[in-house]
Amino acid sequence: MSLTDTQRAYELIQEKIITTEMLPGAVIQEAALMTETGLGRTPIREALKLLEAARLVTVSPRRGMFVTTIGISDLSQVQEIRIVLDPLCVRLMIQRATPADLAELRDLVNQAQAASNNDDLKSLMALDHRFHCLIAKGTRNDLLMAEHEMLYNLSRRIWYFYLDRLNPDDLAFDALDEIVSALEARDVARAEQAVIRHISHFGDAIRRCL
What domains does the chain contain, in order, with CATH numbers? 5-67 (1.10.10.10), 72-207 (1.20.120.530)
How many other CB atoms sit within 10 Å of the CB of residue 150? 16
Q: Which residue has the higher pLDDT, 140 or 113?
A: 140
Q: What's the pLDDT score for residue 33? A: 96
Q: Which residue has the higher pLDDT, 48 or 72?
A: 48
Q: Is the pLDDT of residue 1 over 70?
A: no
How many other CB atoms sit within 10 Å of the CB of residue 1? 4
Q: What's the pLDDT score for residue 36? A: 94
> Which helix (H) or strand (E) is 14 found in, with range?
helix 5-18
Q: What's the pLDDT score for residue 2? A: 61
Q: Looking at residues 184-193, what average pLDDT do you find?
A: 96
Distance CA 196, CA 87 (A): 7
Question: Mind listing the pLDDT tens digit for each residue in 43-55?
Answer: 999 999 999 999 9
Distance CA 82, CA 84 (A): 5
Q: Is the pLDDT of residue 210 over 90?
A: no
Q: Is the pLDDT of residue 80 over 80?
A: yes
Region at 13 (left for phi over 0; alpha for psi -120 to 50; beta for the rest)? alpha
Q: What's the pLDDT score for residue 119? A: 67
Question: Among 1, 2, 12, 15, which residue's Cα sits nearest to residue 46?
Answer: 12
What residues have CB less than 8 Å from 123, skipping those under 6 apart? 115
Q: What's the pLDDT score for residue 205? A: 87
Q: Is the pLDDT of residue 145 over 80?
A: yes
Q: Quote the Cα angle for 120-25-55, to 5°.
A: 80
Q: Is the pLDDT of residue 125 over 90?
A: no
Q: Which residue has the higher pLDDT, 39 or 117?
A: 39
pLDDT band of residue 94 (cuts 50, 70, 90) is very high
Q: Which residue has the higher pLDDT, 165 or 87?
A: 87
Q: Which residue has the higher pLDDT, 210 or 22?
A: 22
Task: State what percent of residues in the chain have pLDDT above 70.
Answer: 98
Q: What's the pLDDT score for residue 144? A: 96
Q: Looking at residues 128-138, what average pLDDT do you find?
A: 94
Q: Is the pLDDT of residue 99 over 60?
A: yes
